[in-house]
Structure formats: C-alpha cells, structure tokens
Chain A
C-alpha cells in the first residue's frame, strides 16, 4: 500500500506577534512543518505495515524541502517537492491542480491521499476537497481516526454536532483533524540516514501542466486587501434584584 501525505511548510504561528499597528511581526519566526500536516503524517505512519510506503509531498519554494526532511526524519519513506517559479501565487484551485497532477503522474497507485484539515496559515481547508473533485475521488473530511478494515479503511469523522463512521474505499482523499500532541522525534540513526536521502524536485513541466494552469495564472481568486478585524461585543448587565422588572426589561430588549 502507498499512503501519500500532502504537507505544507508554514511560519510557526505560535511565535507570530502583532505590533502596535496591527501588523504581523514575522521577523525571526522559523518555518516549520504545519502541525495540521503533521497529524496527517502521523496517521499515515500509524497505518503503515511492513512493505507499505509513506510518501510526503509539498508544493513550495526550495526552502520547503526542510519540511519534507522533517517528514523523512519522523518516518516517511520518500519525499517530493513541487517547486517552480511558475507555481508562485497559487490560490486553492491552482494548488489543487498541481497536487492532482502529481497524483495522476507519480502516485496513481496511492491507497489513500492524506491531508491535514487545513493549513494553519491559510486556514481555508479547501485544498483536499478540490483535489478530490479534480481527481474524481471520494472525500472524507474532519477525520479524527483512520484505521484499517481488512483490505480497506474506516474513518471516524467529527462534524461537531455529529460523529460519522464511514468505510473508506481505496484511493480516497482523507483530511485529518486531530493527532497525537506528542510529536514524533527521530532517532539519531534515522536523522543520519535522512541526511543521505534525496528529495525529488518536480517542476511545472514534470507535472505536465501548462502555464495557465498554475500559480497566479491558474488562480481564480486574488487577495485584494488583508486587515485585522477586532470584534467588540459589549454586554449589558440586567439587575436581577427585581425579577419581574428584569424580565420585562429583557423582553423589551429582545
């Protein structure tokens, strides 16, 4: 079996602060493997049996290789970096297009396509759904548990007000909401081995994509403006020493 895990490198959002003007202070904030991606990787590593392969994939600039090396260190067997200047500025659709092309060309045999629920920087949560749509695969979002069920899989989805347990056919897209808080750590032996492993870099042409399918050209959305919004809710205290009066006042307000 082959478990393909799509991951993302993000700034460590726990270290980002907001300055007095409301701007994000990004200086000195390291880039890390997204904790949401790590849940997906953790799920794949938990499902892997002898002979199975866990593949880590990300789309990003050359420095995103370090997120893939982190995946290799904690147990992934191989890693692919989709990196090309033409990919810059990709929105959800253009990202999903590149990832789908990767699956079609390099991972058609994937047993499961695993994602984190959302990226902790972009927060859209739409890429898994669009990949499923483009590839015509079933999609299982908000998964909190994925387990083997004979030759297939079963996943538990938590929708907040409803828990579903579903059988998952081979080739499905699964996005994972939760994982072990105790991150895996590599052994020194594994760390040394990974230093000799190669991350395969694939560009637009390797994926067989045209210029107008990727990056800004392939995007259907643009960020026009971004600003901080502070919602302020003011409460009103109703004195309850006069219950009848308080009830009448409340009724009036409502």
Chain B
C-alpha cells in the first residue's frame, strides 16, 4: 500500500474526464483487499478511484482520501455456471484488457473458478466476447459496474448490469460481502445485507425505476431485486468493488456497415423503418450532417484522421450498424435495400468491412465525432475559456417519443442561439447532442438549455442520464426525475449502508455535508 500526501494542484487523482478539478488530502494506492479494509477502517472520507474515465465527476474527490484501485488490474480466473462462461476480474482491469484477454484466448493462463471451464473455453471454435462496449475502452470494469456502463451494443445486449454474475464488495464497516446473482434478494422493497454487527434491513426507494429506456439516473430498484443489482450502478455509494464475475457471450462474425443518405431526416426515417424491418442489427447509430462535416473538416487538417476513405460529397447523414455475418446476411441486406432506396440512399453509397482491423476503423470513425468536439473544447479551455466544459447530452426517451424529442432538441437549442450536432445511439432513443460552444457566453446558455432538455426528456418518459451516470455533476437531475421524496429515499439507503458517509460523498445525492467545487 502506498500513500501520497501533498498532492500537486494538477494531480491526476483529482480530476476525471469531465475535467472538473477536485482536491484531496491523500491518495492511497492499495495492493489487495486487506489494504482496502484497512483504509476503510481508518480513513474518514473516501473517494474510490479507478481509471478516472467517468464523465460526471464520480471519481473527483472534494477532500479526504482517494482510494486508488489502479494496481488491482488482474484477470483472476474463468468459470462456468448454468448461464454460461464468465471471467473473474479485479476492479481495475480495463475493458480493453478484458477484450485482449478474450481475443488471445488466455483462459488457460489464469486459475479456474470452476474446473474444466478454461479447457472448454479454449477449445470453443467460435470463441467469446464481452458484449458491453463503452466508448472509453480504458475505463475500469469496476467503474463500468459502478456506473452500469453501456455502449452501442446495449441496443441488443443491454447494459453492464445484464452481464454481472457476482460482486465482492468491501462495505462501510470493513466487512466483505461476496454475493452471486440469485443468492440474496430483497423482499418487496426491503433488502437485508449482512454486516459485521449483524444483518441490516435496508429500505429501498419506492419509486418506479424507468427500465423502458436506457437509464442510469438514480438508484436502480425493483421489487425483490437482487443484491448484486444494489451495487451495479450505485456509483460507489455503498462500498468498494474488489472482485467481479462478468459473463461472456458466444462470439459470432460481424460485418460493420455505414449507409450514406442525403439529409438528416432521411437517416432518421430510415432508422425508424429499420427497426420494423425484422432485421436485427447489433446496434444502430446515427450521424447528422453536422457530425459528418466535423469529420470532413478534421480530415482536411489530417488525411490520416479515422483512416477511412473520404466521405462521399453527396452524403448529408449516415446510419452505422453491425450485422451478424451468417447465412441470413444476404436476405438482411435484401430487406434493407428498398428501405435505403426509399430515403435516397443505395447499397452502392455505403461502406462495409468485416476484418477486425476494418471494424475497429468503423468504431474509430464513430468515436471521432465526440473526440473532435472534446479536442475543440480542450483548445478553448486552454486559451480563451479556462472554465468551459464540453456540453453533450446523454438523454434517452422511449422510441415512440423520439420524434418529439428530436424536434425539441432542434427548436430549443436554436432558441438559445446555439449550434449543435446529433449522433449516436438512435436505435435506443438515445442520440447524443453535442452543443458547439464558442465562448463562455455560449457555455452559460448551453447549461440553461441543458436543463430544459433534461426536463423534456423526463416529461416524455425518458431519462436525463442514459449511460454516463450522475456523479457529482448531475445530482439535480435525480431530484428532477424522482422529486425530493425520491432523493430522500436514496439518502435513506445510503444512511443504512454507509452511516458515516464514508464512500463517494456527493455522488448521486448530496448527504448534507455538502460538496464544494
């Protein structure tokens, strides 16, 4: 265990990808579970820190101790149960590391959790994959679990929650809870969690958690919920995840596709018809004309940008989707072809690629839109507007309300005199809107606009935070979604699980001690 005090102002431990800077008294870099238990028992206030790739300040400390899990980065084993194969990981194994481990078929190089699993996994001709594909592959799996991360493939496979088999958690009294899905469930809205001093009855919130859309706002809850789900998406409020088992899915070859269309409305309409075509893609992603122009402009500066061919001049929007490369592929394309033609596109005006290298390039093309904006805002931050931050939405609505939300984005953002681009998870009713900021005036307007957009998303039955979580930046949206009563119910869970408010103060809800920027 290593302790670092006297942190410099620009310490990497006091900032995450939202670029809000916090402060801490010390950093404790732990080596094992015993170190974590000791730190929990001896420190007053702890901010849990993994790879700090979060977008909402969840790992940004405001005082106290940063408990860094960075050295807990090993794959511990593989196993099998009635649902399928799983991998046991320490919390700071990254998504990229896990993907590499699976690609290299390293199953025999780690201990087995259940006998024979490694041999069966190694000899499986199709192999496996971890279906959760957040944009940030350098994010830790502990962080992914704590924020119930998702990505493009959530369209077909659901978020992280669907793939967590087991968690091992150091609780606020230093005791360790090791729970596998199915072992410990709530009775109605009461869950009994064993602590060192006995079993505590935890009253769960009574609100309806919105599962009709992608949603990470507030604390997940349902009648008879599994104890594992109490920790998934809890943003570290209740303990430190020290181990987790994650299920893998059987791999199948895929082909990535981008279809170009004349304008925004065409791609949007095609996305709707696509969903009713009977063809099931792995995901369905949207690029509006502004997004394509951003990529074109970056490629003018650097032709190597995205390592893709030039976007056709006639393209005013695009849809990106993966399809299984199986016997049905040709019939899937045949079913899509008339739809694509209906909206002014064609199978000739498209790209596809199935080699791993090509598919990675498609993803880099997709991620280049937020990346370009991120770099643009970073330049503003480094010059004329040091307090500016990227303003990208993370709101989801039910698919049958998406028309209204898209119209509202357009009218409301224009009403504020701002420019924007829309891209991303259209198939989940969850496109990202990036407001293009020029200065601090725009930033102030965008913050006010964002609140109105979030309110509208909730009115339409959606969520103001679909996948980025709440962290410290979006706590107001929890109140907006569940009201003061709902927030108080989350606080009640927190008080029961962590009476001294040791863990991640200020995440999801404020506990009264106050968070100061």
Q: Which residue of A lies closest to B310 (CB)?
A: A182
The answer to whether B350 touches A189, judged by C-beta atoms less than 8 angstroms apart, is yes
Q: Which residues of chain B from 329 to 353 have any CB-CB distance to chain A below 8 Å in the complex?
A: 330, 333, 346-353
Majority secondary structure, B binding face: mixed
Q: Which residues of chain B from 286 to 340 have any CB-CB distance to chain A below 8 Å in the complex?
A: 303-304, 307-310, 330, 333
- Point out the residues of chain B lying under 8 angstroms from A228, CB to CB: none
Answer yes or no: B83 CB below 8 A from chain A CBs.
no
Answer yes or no: B358 CB below 8 A from chain A CBs.
yes
* Bound complex: CA A70 to CA B257 (Å): 16
Answer yes or no: A28 CB below 8 A from chain B CBs.
yes
Cβ-defined partner of B349 (8 Å) among A17, A186, A187: A187
Answer yes or no: B1 CB below 8 A from chain A CBs.
no
* Bound complex: CA A27 to CA B109 (Å): 12
Indicate whether A188 sits within 8 Å of B352 (C-beta atoms), given known contacts A181-B304, A182-B304, A182-B308.
yes
The answer to whether B259 touches A188, judged by C-beta atoms less than 8 angstroms apart, is yes
Answer yes or no: B103 CB below 8 A from chain A CBs.
yes
Indicate whether A192 sits within 8 Å of B333 (C-beta atoms), given known contacts A181-B304, A182-B303, A182-B307.
yes
Answer yes or no: A251 CB below 8 A from chain B CBs.
no
* Bound complex: CA A28 to CA B356 (Å): 11
Indicate whether A28 sits within 8 Å of B104 (C-beta atoms), given known contacts A186-B351, A192-B330.
yes
Answer yes or no: A32 CB below 8 A from chain B CBs.
yes
The answer to whether B353 touches A186, judged by C-beta atoms less than 8 angstroms apart, is yes
> How many residues belonging to B are interface residues under a CB distance threshold of 8 Å?
30
Q: Which residue of A lies closest to B109 (CB)?
A: A19
Answer yes or no: A183 CB below 8 A from chain B CBs.
yes
The answer to whether B356 touches A185, judged by C-beta atoms less than 8 angstroms apart, is no
The answer to whether B307 touches A12, judged by C-beta atoms less than 8 angstroms apart, is no
The answer to whether B347 touches A187, judged by C-beta atoms less than 8 angstroms apart, is yes
Against A, the Cβ 8 Å flags (1 = close, 0 = not) of B341-380 are: 0000011111111011110010000000000000000000
Q: Nearest Cβ distance between residue B338 and chain A, in whole angstroms?
A: 14
Answer yes or no: B96 CB below 8 A from chain A CBs.
no
The answer to whether B356 touches A187, judged by C-beta atoms less than 8 angstroms apart, is no
- Point out the residues of chain A lying under 8 angstroms from B358, CB to CB: 183, 185
Answer yes or no: B105 CB below 8 A from chain A CBs.
yes
- Point out the residues of chain A lying under 8 angstroms from B348, CB to CB: 187-190
- Point out the residues of chain A lying under 8 angstroms from B346, CB to CB: 189
The answer to whether B361 touches A28, judged by C-beta atoms less than 8 angstroms apart, is no
Q: Which residues of chain A from 165 to 199 have any CB-CB distance to chain B below 8 Å in the complex?
A: 181-192, 195
Answer yes or no: A25 CB below 8 A from chain B CBs.
yes
Q: Which residues of chain A from 1 to 43 have any CB-CB distance to chain B below 8 Å in the complex?
A: 12, 15, 17, 25, 27-28, 30, 32-33
The answer to whether A185 touches B308, judged by C-beta atoms less than 8 angstroms apart, is yes
- Point out the residues of chain A lying under 8 angstroms from B356, CB to CB: 12, 30, 32
- Point out the residues of chain B lying under 8 angstroms from A25, CB to CB: 104
The answer to whether A12 touches B347, judged by C-beta atoms less than 8 angstroms apart, is no
- Point out the residues of chain B lying under 8 angstroms from A184, CB to CB: 309
* Bound complex: CA A25 to CA B108 (Å): 14
Q: Which residues of chain B from 239 to 293 have any CB-CB distance to chain A below 8 Å in the complex?
A: 255, 257, 259
The answer to whether A32 touches B333, judged by C-beta atoms less than 8 angstroms apart, is no
Q: Which residue of B lies closest to A195 (CB)?
A: B330
- 23 sampled A-B residue pairs with Cβ under 8 A: A12-B356, A12-B357, A17-B104, A27-B104, A27-B105, A28-B127, A32-B356, A181-B303, A182-B304, A182-B307, A183-B309, A185-B309, A185-B351, A186-B351, A186-B353, A187-B347, A187-B348, A187-B351, A188-B257, A188-B347, A188-B352, A190-B348, A192-B347
Q: A186-B353, A191-B352 are in contact. List 5 more A-B contacts (CB 8 A).
A: A32-B355, A32-B357, A181-B304, A182-B304, A189-B350
